[in-house]
Structure 1
């Protein structure tokens, strides 16, 4: 299994609105992709900035390519992200996941 980790930031005042957007748009997009296993959605506010980490779990790198395209290390953004995000990190991180 492969974990794909994305990080984004918004103003603290957009904390709930961006969370709603993620639940309505991004998470269904991830979960409808073949090879998607599950996700963890992490969020916190620190010094007036809202931080979001989305950890998605996939069966393989090929499954991630179904979602993100062949250049799977590039972060995928939605048009609405420009209304919230303070910056657009170019890349995501991938890790092999071992469970017992």
Structure 2
């Protein structure tokens, strides 16, 4: 399994609206892709900025490609992001996921 992590920042005053956007637009988009195994949004308010991480899980790199295209390291943005984000980070990070032993 592959975990894909994206980071973005908004002004704090737009944090609630951006969270709503992610839950209504981005998360359903991720989860509609064959091979998606789950999606989470993490948020941290820090002074005048809100930091967001999207953490998505995929069955394989091929599944990530179905979502992100052939260059899976490039961040995917939506037109609506322009009204929220303070910058557009160009890359995302991927990690292999291993089950823990019990």
TM class by shorter-chain length? Answer: over 0.9
Aligned residue for 1:81, secondary structure, equals helix
CA distance in 2, matches of 1:70, 1:29: 17
Name the TM-score, length of structure 2 as normaliser.
0.96
The corresponding residue for 1:70 is 70
CA distance in 2, matches of 1:53, 1:99: 22
Name the TM-score, length of structure 1 as normaliser.
0.98
CA RMSD of the aligned region, Å? 0.6
Aligned residue for 1:62, secondary structure, equals helix
The corresponding residue for 1:24 is 24
The corresponding residue for 2:47 is 47
CA distance in 2, matches of 1:91, 1:61: 16
Aligned residue for 1:91, secondary structure, equals coil
CA-CA distance at 1:73 after TM superposition: 0.5
Q: Which runs of 5+ in 1 are unaligned?
A: none
Aligned residue for 1:10, secondary structure, equals strand
Aligned residue for 2:94, secondary structure, equals strand
CA distance in 1, matches of 2:39, 2:19: 14
The corresponding residue for 1:87 is 87
Equivalent residue pairs, number: 100
Q: Which runs of 5+ in 2 are unaligned?
A: none
Aligned residue for 2:80, secondary structure, equals helix
CA-CA distance at 1:48 after TM superposition: 1.0
CA distance in 1, matches of 2:82, 2:41: 20
